[in-house]
Structure 1
Amino acid sequence: MFAIRSSSKRSTDSVDETDHEFKTHRALIVVLFVGTAALLVWSSLTTLTGVARSTGMVVPFTQNQIIQHLEGGIVSEIDVKEGDKVEKNQVLVRIEDAVARSNLEQSITTLNAKRAAVSRLEAEISDASEIVFPEDLSSSPQIQNELDLFQQKKQQHVEELLLLDDKIRQQEIALQGYRQRLENQLKEREISAERLKGVSDLRDMGAASKSEMLQAMSAFQENQTKIDDLNHDIPQTEAALSEAKRQRTAALLKVKSEAAQEKNKLLTEIAQLHASIAGLQDRASRAEVRAPVAGIVNKMMINTVGGVVAPGSPIMELVPTSDVIAIEAQLSPQDRAQIWPGTKAVVKITAYDYSVYGALPAEVVEISPDVVKEKDKDAYFRVRLNAPNVLGEKHPVIPGMMANVDMMTRQYTVLNYILSPIVNTMDLALRQ
């Protein structure tokens, strides 16, 4: 009986052990299945970004600027030295052009004198009692000259008009006298005519002598002669009066006409002076040689104050700086199909530790149209990238620094990356 119980116990233990192994295998299969499924899901959803790696160099965002001076001259001041960082419009060098400055000052003086003269002429044309000068000429020495000339010409004009007025009054008085005398002579002629008629009647009656008749005729004839003389003098005096009045009107118009002509001439000269002064000011302004862009002084061609700069000769070389830096990199021909203008990239300046300072986000802006071939080097496409200088002024990125460039090509999933060699191999095998 003891033997039967032992056999039954061994059978039960064997069944339990088999069941445990089955459960273990099933759990392992489930884990493997779930793990494989999860791996497939992850690999199909997780994306990778391909990059085309290259080395490059920081280059000027714009070409180096060669600073020149058009007219040349004597160096009076040097404000920078090689390696200095300069801002846009900062004075670099002062070059004295004594001739241009002297001509400019003389032209401005002449211009102010002519403007003051125009103000005087306008006062003469409008017959004003005083001159109104532009405000910017209030302290100009030319004003007093024009005031004196204005008063002098005004006095001369007044004296001329007074003389003509006297002449007019004289002619008017003479004309009035002639007319009054003519009126009197006409009255006397009537009396003389009646007297002559009376003597003639008496002569016919024999009551008057011949001498009385002749005396009456002589008086009448004398009176008639005076009337004839007055009739001759009156038109002449009227003509003289009209001429005097015309002369006075002409004198008034002459002053205004001459002033208007002189004003027009001066306005033409002023316009020419403005053009001349603009050129001289432009020339004088170039006495201060200023930086056309912000940058770093790379090379100085002049170092001596008092030295002579020839017209058009270079003074210094300026390397432009910008908030945007440019990088030139080399692209392998096998990656060319994946890189185009607008492609994003990451630039790591080798002079700065990438783990500390990070990288610069960049973008491809230009790719050479053909490969560049150099002796003893593989052919490559020249790529130009722009990147913002996010490292700040304390960590300047300057031309000549080397950089590692990662240009983004395409994105694909982990599953595609794993299966791609298999698919390519199968495709090649099926074609063979």
Structure 2
Amino acid sequence: MTTVPENGVSAAPGPDPALMEELEVRAMTHVFLFLCMALVVGFLAWSWLGRLDIVSTASGEVVPSSQAKSVQHLEGGIISEILVREGDEVTKDQPLVVLESTTSGADVEELTVRLTSLRVDLARLEAELVGADEPVFPRDIAAAHPHLVNQAIALFETRRSRLDNQIGAQRELVTQRSQEIKIISARLVNEKESLKLLKEQIAISEDLLKDDLTNRMLHLNLLKDAAELKGRIGEDEAALPSAVAAHKEAQVRLAGIRDSDQEQVRQDLDEKRRSL
């Protein structure tokens, strides 16, 4: 039974939702396919028309990192021969490569000069250690390398001159300190003798003063002179131990100059001998 609207006109049927959804899916599919085709065509066109500056083709093999072992020599060098091949099994202490000998004539000459220089230094240092007037060098070195010998002699004389200057300056200081002790000691003797005489004068002046046979002012001057003399004696007695200590210190430093130089020479000798 059909219902008729009041105005007498029948309503048109609406669109089917399922049909509309299917149309939308088809449209999106067409767009996606079109984009894929466009990308493929574009890539083909680029690969056909484009140009690569560098093309590198290489074959390789994937090897796990746990199986890769590095071969290294402690001193390095140039490989002249490889004794193993890819895939070989190796054992401990098996030779793998052979290194080229890189020692040239220049290297040998340089090593020879270095050893000669060490021998020259040893002769110089031994002369310094024993306090010789001049070093004695091996005849073969003196004849073949006179320039090294001359340099060593110049260095020997320079070091000896410097050491002599240091010792001479310190000896002069020791002499000065000894002279100071003598001066203070002699002054003390004179001051004490003068004080002894001055005390006798004071005693006589006191007796004369009791009998009014002398001026009190003169007696006071004697007392003043005695006080000043005692003060100088006290200063010199305090200065004498300091002068003695300074003299001993100067003597220790004098001995230390020679000892320090000898110790340095011994260290240099040991180092040169180890290098040789």
Partner residue of 2:125?
Answer: 121
2:270 maps to which of 252, 264, 287: 264
2:117 is matched by which residue type in structure 1? A
Aligned to 1:181: 187
AA aligned to 2:120 is: A
Instruction: Give 2:168's aligned amino acid.
Output: L
Partner of 1:338: none
In structure 2, which of residues 238, 247, 250 is the aligned counterpart of residue 232 of structure 1?
A: 238
Amino acid aligned to 1:192: L
Residue 133 of structure 1 aligns to a residue whose secondary structure is coil
Alignment correspondent of 2:249: 243
Residues 1:159 and 2:165 are matched in the alignment:
yes
Q: 1:135 aligns with which of 131, 139, 148?
A: 139
CA contact (8 A) 1:124 1:255 kept: no
Distance in 2 between the 1:206 and 1:100 partners? Answer: 114
Q: Which amino acid in structure 2 is aligned with residue 159 of structure 1?
A: N
**Identity value in percent:** 18
Identify the match of residue 108 of structure 2 among 100, 104, 125.
104
| Residue 211 (structure 2) pairs with residue 190 (structure 1) | no
Give how far 1:121 is off. 0.9
Cα shift at 1:99? 4.6
Which residue of 1 is the match for residue 150 of structure 2? 144
- Answer whether contact 1:125 1:256 (CA < 8 A) is retained: yes
Deviates more, 1:188-197 or 1:166-175: 166-175
Instruction: Give the drift of 1:143.
Output: 1.4
Between the aligned partners of 2:209 and 2:104, the Cα distance in structure 1 is 107
Deviation, structure 1 residue 189: 0.8
Q: Does residue 201 in structure 1 map to residue 207 in structure 2?
A: yes
**Other-structure match for 2:220:** 214
In the TM superposition, residue 257 of structure 1 has moved relative to its aligned partner by 1.0
Any residues of structure 2 matched to 1:28-427 within 5 Å, and which? 99-138=103-142, 139-140=144-145, 141-270=147-276
Q: Secondary structure at the match of 1:249?
A: helix
Q: What displacement does 1:172 show?
A: 2.1
TM-superposed deviation, 1:225: 1.3
The offset of 1:184, in angstroms, is: 1.0
Query: Separation in 2 of the partners of 1:160 and 1:208?
Result: 62
The whole-number CA distance in structure 1 between the counterparts of 2:211 and 2:273 is 90
Work out the CA distance in 1 between the residues paired with 2:79 and 2:111. 21
Deviation at residue 98 of structure 1 after TM alignment: 6.1
CA deviation digits over 1:299-321, x for unaligned, max 9?
Answer: xxxxxxxxxxxxxxxxxxxxxxx
Higher helix share: 2
The aligned amino acid for 1:130 is E
| Cα distance in 2 for residues equivalent to 1:113 and 1:201 | 90
Tell me which amino acid in the other structure corresponds to 1:171.
Answer: R
The offset of 1:174, in angstroms, is 2.2
Give the whole-Å Cα distance in 1 for the aligned partners of 2:259 and 2:194: 46
Contact 1:203 1:209 in 2 (8 A): yes
Q: Secondary structure of 2:203's match?
A: helix
Shift of 1:204: 3.3
- In structure 1, what residue type is equivalent to 2:114? T
Q: Cα deviations across residues 90-124 of structure 1 (Å, max 9, x unaligned)?
A: xxxxxx96654333322221221122111111111
Structure 1 CA distance, aligned partners of 2:181 and 2:190? 14
Q: What secondary structure does 2:213 align onto?
A: coil
Q: Offset of 1:162 from its aligned partner?
A: 1.4
The number of equivalent residue pairs is: 179
Distance 1:268 1:124 in 2: 19
CA distance in 2, matches of 1:262, 1:204: 83
Counterpart amino acid of residue 185 in structure 1: E
Describe the superposition over 1:328-385 as per-residue Cα deviations: whole angstroms up to 9, x where unpaired: xxxxxxxxxxxxxxxxxxxxxxxxxxxxxxxxxxxxxxxxxxxxxxxxxxxxxxxxxx
Letter in 2 for 1:112: T
Equivalent-residue separation in structure 2 for 1:118 and 1:200 (angstroms): 81
Q: TM-score, normalised by structure 2?
A: 0.59
Instruction: Give the TM-score taking structure 1 as reference length.
Output: 0.39
